[in-house]
């Protein structure tokens, strides 16, 4: 039987607020997310896929900008020969996103409603099922009890939901592996999880989360992308294709014993990759340094600004202080040190790092130096 070529994407979260970025940078990233959707459409066209599947959370919220919707529709108009099937998720549920209700979508775009529906493509011997979230929460499993109607066809479903173990619950359409196996689907195109799940199989049914095509924070680190490939009866050959414009990267850098900012910058440069100029970085400084070295994160950022797109420095170093000796001079700094020394030496192991960081903040304060609480705690 001939296979059908599909592109599967999900969770773009267009017009997401992007907390933690400046207004200017947030606006720029939102436009880049729109550009990423355009790139998905261009790939679908270039690769001559026969069906484009979007498994929910295309939009992040109900207050979607008209310019965003116009961009989506204009891009979709360029692939009128490729059917586009959309299942709304929890962020862009039918009740929240009124754009799905308006008569503005091209004829080749099908948005599933809140009842299980299907679209037949006789030319491919294909049936695509789908159902949308009607509300932000969907505690009843939408796949439970479902079985594809005609096992002679290539059966695919596009849906937003969360894989759970038997007996577990979820507010986001709980789906068990047994539900997938009993569905008799050839491929279940899932959305909701923002990391690529790999291509999985239970019984004769394959399923996968492509993840989000573009990271939006350090909880979505690394390469992001889409799935593209072929599906036929009892056969699935899908591949992950990274398409993100920028990646969020996080590294721990041990700066023990360094005494200059140039040394710190050199150690950070060692972990940067070839794409550093287009990526977001979170660098967590660790190790023990001299108590005389009160690190200023802005100085480090300035030394690296030509090498990275955006960088955040988190200072989790501790001071290399001899906790075995008690200071004798009766100064406020020494009294504080001796008190903290006893607390650290008598504390449980799991609290030692916290108290050492408190000691570091206290010494900085007593030295009259600026304290960066975001970097110190």
What is the per-residue pLDDT across 53-73, written as a single tens digit (0 to 9) for each? 999 999 998 888 989 999 999
Quickly tell me which residue has 């790092």 as its tokens.
353
pLDDT for residue 245: 96
Question: How far, in Å, are 284, 290, 294, 358 from residue 353 at the CA level?
Answer: 15, 16, 18, 9
- The pLDDT confidence band at residue 375, using thresholds 50, 70 and 90, is very low
pTM assigned to the model: 0.87
CB 133 within 8 A of CB 114: yes
Res. 376 pLDDT band, cuts 50 70 90: very low
- When pLDDT is averaged across residues 278-298 and rounded to a whole number, the result is 89
- The two counts, helices (H) then strands (E), for the chain are 8, 19
Task: Provide mean pLDDT across the span 369-375.
Answer: 56
**Structural domains of the chain ordered from first start:** 4-242 (3.60.21.10), 248-376 (no CATH)
Distance CA 303, CA 283 (A): 14
What digits encode the pLDDT tens for the residues 179-200?
Answer: 999 999 999 999 999 999 999 9
| Average pLDDT of the segment spanning 214-225 | 96
Distances (CA, A) of 165 to 162, 174, 175, 193, 209: 10, 9, 8, 15, 16
d(CA 317, CA 315): 6
Cβ atoms of 269 and 304 closer than 8 Å: yes
Please say if the pLDDT value at position 345 is more than 90: no
For the chain, how many residues are written? 377
The per-residue pLDDT for 105 is 93
CA distance 73 to 231: 27
What is the predicted pLDDT for the residue at 125? 96
pLDDT at 373: 54
- Nearest-5° Cα angle at 133, 129 to 134: 120
């Amino acid at each position: 039987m001939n296979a059908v070529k599909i592109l599967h994407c999900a969770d773009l979260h267009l017009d997401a607020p992007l907390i933690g970025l400046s207004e200017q940078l947030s606006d720029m990233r939102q436009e880049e997310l729109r550009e990423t959707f355009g790139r998905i459409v261009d790939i679908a066209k270039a690769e001559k896929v026969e069906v484009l599947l979007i498994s929910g959370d295309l939009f992040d919220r109900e207050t979607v900008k008209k310019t965003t919707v116009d961009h989506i529709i204009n891009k979709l108009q360029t692939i009128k020969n490729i059917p586009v099937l959309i299942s709304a998720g929890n962020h862009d549920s039918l009740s929240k996103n009124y754009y799905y209700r308006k008569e503005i979508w091209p004829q080749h775009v099908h948005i599933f409603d809140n009842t299980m529906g299907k679209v037949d493509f006789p030319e491919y011997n294909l049936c695509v099922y789908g159902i949308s979230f009607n509300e932000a929460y969907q505690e009843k499993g939408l796949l439970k009890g479902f079985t594809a109607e005609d096992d002679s066809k290539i059966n695919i479903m596009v849906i937003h939901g969360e894989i759970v173990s038997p007996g577990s619950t979820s507010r986001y359409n709980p789906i068990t592996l047994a539900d997938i196996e009993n569905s008799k689907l050839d491929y279940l195109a899932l959305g909701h999880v923002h990391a690529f799940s790999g291509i999985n199989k239970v019984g004769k049914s394959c399923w996968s989360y492509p993840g989000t095509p573009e990271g939006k924070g350090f909880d979505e680190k690394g390469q992001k992308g889409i799935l593209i490939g072929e599906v036929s009866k009892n056969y699935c050959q899908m591949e992950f294709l990274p398409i993100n414009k920028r990646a969020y990267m996080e590294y721990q850098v041990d700066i023990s014993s360094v005494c200059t900012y140039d040394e710190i910058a050199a150690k950070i440069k060692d972990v940067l990759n070839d794409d550093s100029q287009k990526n977001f970085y979170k660098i967590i400084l660790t190790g023990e340094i001299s108590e005389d070295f009160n690190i200023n994160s802005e100085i480090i950022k300035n030394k690296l600004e030509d090498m990275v797109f955006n960088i955040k420095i988190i200072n989790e170093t501790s001071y290399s202080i001899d906790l075995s000796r008690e200071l004798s001079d009766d100064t406020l700094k020494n009294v504080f040190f001796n008190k903290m020394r006893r607390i650290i030496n008598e504390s449980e192991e799991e609290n030692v790092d916290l108290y050492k960081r408190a000691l570091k903040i206290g010494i900085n304060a007593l030295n009259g130096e600026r304290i960066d609480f975001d970097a110190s705690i």
